[in-house]
Structure 1
Amino acid sequence: MQKEQGFKALPLRVSSASTANHYVYVKQHSIRNFDETKPPDRTLFVLNVPPYATEDSLKHSFSPAGKVEAVILQNNNESPNDGFKRAYVVFDKRESLLKALKLESLNPLSSDSAPLKAGIEKWTEEYNASICSPKDLQNKINRFMASYDKRENQKKTNKTETTDDEGWTLVTKRGRNPGVARKESVGEKLNEKLKKGSKKKELKNFYTFQIRESKMKNIVELRKNFEEAKKKVSLMKQARKFRPY
């Protein structure tokens, strides 16, 4: 098998009936920073993984080397749009990794126990899986509406104002600030404030003729002030005249 930049090329077929080989490139995984999910002494780094490959199918392909603990699939950083991926195949033992590096061939991706679906069959299945069934949709709607009704009822409860027998609104202790204690001294202070406020709110010039009379008085007062201002201006002008003798 060919080797390039430390990688070894291995043929990979889709199924046992397929005659076309797709090549993947493998080598032992090595990293600068340790990652517990990809231990270097048990992880095989695989490039050029076809887009239709799955974790289960790769486990089956590399099973001749030993038990595969996990497969981590990722998109290629260099060419993320071509669909091909890279994989980290983690074996349960170091010996299995060493054996995988010596493999000359791999199991097909598809097997009788775990058949691999590709092409139209795969796309059809993915499309059908993306459509929510009527039952699941109804369950989602029911959960949403139950949550919505609960929030609305809570809002109504928080805004509810209780009233006494005479129709007066009772102040409750809901909200951020607690209510004022109903003491006799507090009641007297409130009554005094209400009396003072009522005096300030006494209506003035309630009738139309009172408003008209008030306007006339204001006009007369303005005219009087205007005439007095004219006299003052005239006296000031006379005082400014130049008198040499």
Structure 2
Amino acid sequence: MAAPTKKNASSACVIPGGFTVLSLKFRSNSTAQHQLCVKEHRVRAQTSKHRPPDRTLFVLNVPPYCSQEAELQKKEAEEQQEDEEGWVKVTKGGKGIKSRPHSEAANQRALQKEHNKKKRKELLNFYTWQHRNSKREHIAELRRKFEEDKQRIALLRAQRKFRPY
């Protein structure tokens, strides 16, 4: 966001609530103006002893595209331009890469993703005998579950019998 100067800032007026409305242009070649509502922020000054009084502002109606990141992107773009000899300054990290400290939980998630990826690629039944054994085990498991279900149904039927006394 550009600092208001005579070119890109017009008049300021006071509205109810103690806010001062500042009309300004974010770019010198822009025709559109944006209004920011500003007033002195007194809450921190009363509760916090280490903050100097009359030095904080409360600003409303700040557009979402106006951020420190945008200011940093402009600086990075300027640094990436060639100098008079044709050299480009190369800095650590690439475009769009945000480095952040890794936590233990983030490392665990990364390891789990890698483990799952390896597991998906692994061929379980490559040989015929492996495929046959897995089918046999699956059928045995189904039979065992079927017998358990039969016993449970028989128990439920026994409990359902009519007992008048």
Shared fold per TM-score greater than 0.5? no
Greater relative contact order (Cα < 8 A, sep 6+): 1
Say which one has the larger Rg.
Answer: 1
Task: State the TM-score, normalized to the length of structure 2.
Answer: 0.30
